[in-house]
Structure 1
Amino acid sequence: MSSDRFSLAGRRALVTGASSGIGRAVAIALAEHGASLVLHHLGDEDGARGTAERTGADTTVLEADFTQAEAVAAFTNELEARAGAIDILISNAAIEHRRAWEEIDSGHVHEHVAANFTALLTLTASLVPAMARRGWGRVVATGSIMARRPRSETVVYASLKAAQLTAVRAIARDVAPHGVTMNVISPGAIETEATASRYVDASFRKAVSAKIPAGRHGQPDDLVGAFVFLCSDAARYITGADIPVDGGWTIGDAPGLLPGTAS
């Protein structure tokens, strides 16, 4: 297979939540494969500009609070005015506020629904019809292992990641005949700036690694190959998929000795 099939030259990608972590790593990888970038962030101009420094002089940086419906609508208008046609949507921005399930209130639910689900639908409705008219487009959403292995303290976040996959698959059926693919990549335990404080604890790192068949937690760079692949022509026949990038965690905890067994 020619490496040209992985080229993104001439494509323009919007990456939400691109100021750090997975979003930053994916944006840089897309640029390395030829795409031009629009970067979204919330309250981290320095981080977004740092990503832009590595993705090209023509990178556009925009800010929006996706927990506010009116802000998402304004963002799509600004995006059209400043960036023009978008060929690739990386829907990565999300919030994860942990709370005991007995203490969840409507505000907690509303905030997560807006940022983690409604924003995806709004951006998709704004960008995907034009992709379909042009006969080419890619949508890749960042999912989570929690959609398959939920925890009670993240019940809202996990539920919305599952809902996101359903939405992506539903819309993917309609646009597949028009050259647009829509998929989800679901990370496992990934160390980012947002989770770094947890991984400083050696006992936490050991406990996480012990559960993962690959024997370690992941880094943002572990995810970028899957994103680039799904955005490329090499993945033109893949749509509605949910690809776990988790060191094998979704297939079960790492094998270990059971009582009474020998090594």
Structure 2
Amino acid sequence: MTTADRGPLCGRKILVTGGSKGIGAAIVRALHRDGADVVIHYNSDETAARSLADELGERVRIVPGDLSRPGTAETLWEAARAALGSIDTLINNAGAWIASPVDDAGEWSSGWSANLQLNLIAAADLCRCALVDFPAQGGGSIINITSRSAHRGDDAAHLAYGAAKGGLLSLTKGIARGYGGQGVLAYAISPGWVKTGLSAGAIADDVLAGLPLREVTPPEDVAELVAFLSSGRSRHLTGSTLDITGADYVR
């Protein structure tokens, strides 16, 4: 018997959106290590998704889908279900920090549309799919990756991003309250700066020096939290938001 065969997530079937790199890839690795069967969703980087799947070997599938396009979420959900037979845990990780500058009406409008679609509506559509399926399966878990911006708002050029993430946070709480009696658990994780390929060049030295731990949060820290919540070992955390900012933002 392998470690995975007796891991805390053995038998779990999990969909991770945006799972081919960055935080998503770290999440996939942690879930797979703990015994889960995992669907890696990716948008355009099939090479990265296949490389991760090859690295991990068994119990991994990959499914494409552009969540910036309306209607993709439902197709993705069905493909993930077909790949594993069913899904009992949804990790809404896919997202992007899209600008919505006030001084340009066109970019303001397109920024709001893009942020709402990718960072809120697509995640909400996947939540709806889960809420249709999970009660009949005896329950399931939803973990939404939001942001500290959901609490404090974002900067002047990214107002729409903060608003979208705030909406996702509120959605998570509503799901926990409305569907707990049907066995559905819902959690939100709100990271601050996380060390990924996309963020590495954006973190100025003065920002780094101002962080209480003097370092950016490793994606593995987020992944371990996701793995713990996926295990169901603390069911009464449902409805909670867990901040992971290295004390950079403390509520």
> Fold conserved (TM > 0.5)?
yes
Deviation at 1:224, TM superposition (A): 1.6
**In structure 2, C-alpha distance between the alignment counterparts of 1:69 and 1:101, rounded to whole Å:** 25
**In structure 1, C-alpha distance between the alignment counterparts of 2:223 and 2:189, rounded to whole Å:** 10
- 1:12 matched residue in structure 2: 13
Deviation at 1:100, TM superposition (A): 2.5
- 1:258 matched residue in structure 2: none
Aligned pair partner of 2:137 in 134, 146, 155: 134
Q: Which runs of 4+ in 1 moved over 3 A?
A: none
Contact 1:96–1:157 under 8 Å retained in 2: yes
Contact 1:5–1:232 under 8 Å retained in 2: no
Deviation at 1:233, TM superposition (A): 2.3
Q: 5+ residue gaps in structure 1? A: 253-263
**In structure 2, C-alpha distance between the alignment counterparts of 1:31 and 1:81, rounded to whole Å:** 19
Residue 123 in structure 1 maps to residue 98 in structure 2? no
Deviation at 1:229, TM superposition (A): 1.2
The count of corresponding residues between Structure 1 and Structure 2 is: 244
- 1:207 matched residue in structure 2: 206
- Aligned-residue RMSD, C-alpha: 1.9
- SS of aligned partner of 1:141: strand
- SS of aligned partner of 1:40: strand
Task: Please give the residue correspondences for 1:23-62 in structure 2 after superposition, counting only pairs within 5 Å.
Answer: 23-62=24-63
Aligned pair partner of 1:188 in 177, 192, 198: 192
Deviation at 1:84, TM superposition (A): 2.2
Aligned pair partner of 1:147 in 146, 150, 174: 150
Change (3 A) 1:6 1:155: farther
Residue 178 in structure 1 maps to residue 179 in structure 2? no
**In structure 2, C-alpha distance between the alignment counterparts of 1:147 and 1:5, rounded to whole Å:** 37
Report sequence identity in percent: 29
- 2:65 matched residue in structure 1: 64
Contact 1:148–1:250 under 8 Å retained in 2: no
- SS of aligned partner of 2:11: coil
- SS of aligned partner of 1:183: strand
| Counterpart residue type for residue 163 of structure 2 | S
- Is 144-153 or 239-248 further displaced after alignment? 144-153
**In structure 2, C-alpha distance between the alignment counterparts of 1:130 and 1:154, rounded to whole Å:** 34
Residue 113 in structure 1 maps to residue 112 in structure 2? no
**In structure 2, C-alpha distance between the alignment counterparts of 1:5 and 1:55, rounded to whole Å:** 17
Residue 251 in structure 1 maps to residue 250 in structure 2? yes
Q: 5+ residue gaps in structure 2? A: none
Deviation at 1:248, TM superposition (A): 0.6
Deviation at 1:70, TM superposition (A): 2.5
Deviation at 1:5, TM superposition (A): 11
Larger radius of gyration between Structure 1 and Structure 2: 1
| Counterpart residue type for residue 186 of structure 1 | S
**In structure 2, C-alpha distance between the alignment counterparts of 1:59 and 1:8, rounded to whole Å:** 14
Deviation at 1:20, TM superposition (A): 0.6
- SS of aligned partner of 2:132: helix
- 1:21 matched residue in structure 2: 22
Deviation at 1:163, TM superposition (A): 0.6
Deviations for 1:7-26, whole angstroms, at most 9, x for unmatched residues?
01000100000111000000
| Counterpart residue type for residue 119 of structure 1 | A
Change (3 A) 1:73 1:133: closer
Deviation at 1:99, TM superposition (A): 4.1
Contact 2:36–2:59 under 8 Å retained in 1: no
- SS of aligned partner of 2:82: helix
Contact 2:14–2:39 under 8 Å retained in 1: yes
**In structure 2, C-alpha distance between the alignment counterparts of 1:245 and 1:155, rounded to whole Å:** 21
Residue 162 in structure 1 maps to residue 166 in structure 2? yes
Deviation at 1:122, TM superposition (A): 1.0
**In structure 2, C-alpha distance between the alignment counterparts of 1:213 and 1:43, rounded to whole Å:** 36
Contact 1:145–1:244 under 8 Å retained in 2: yes
| Counterpart residue type for residue 224 of structure 2 | G
Change (3 A) 1:131 1:6: farther
Deviation at 1:181, TM superposition (A): 0.9
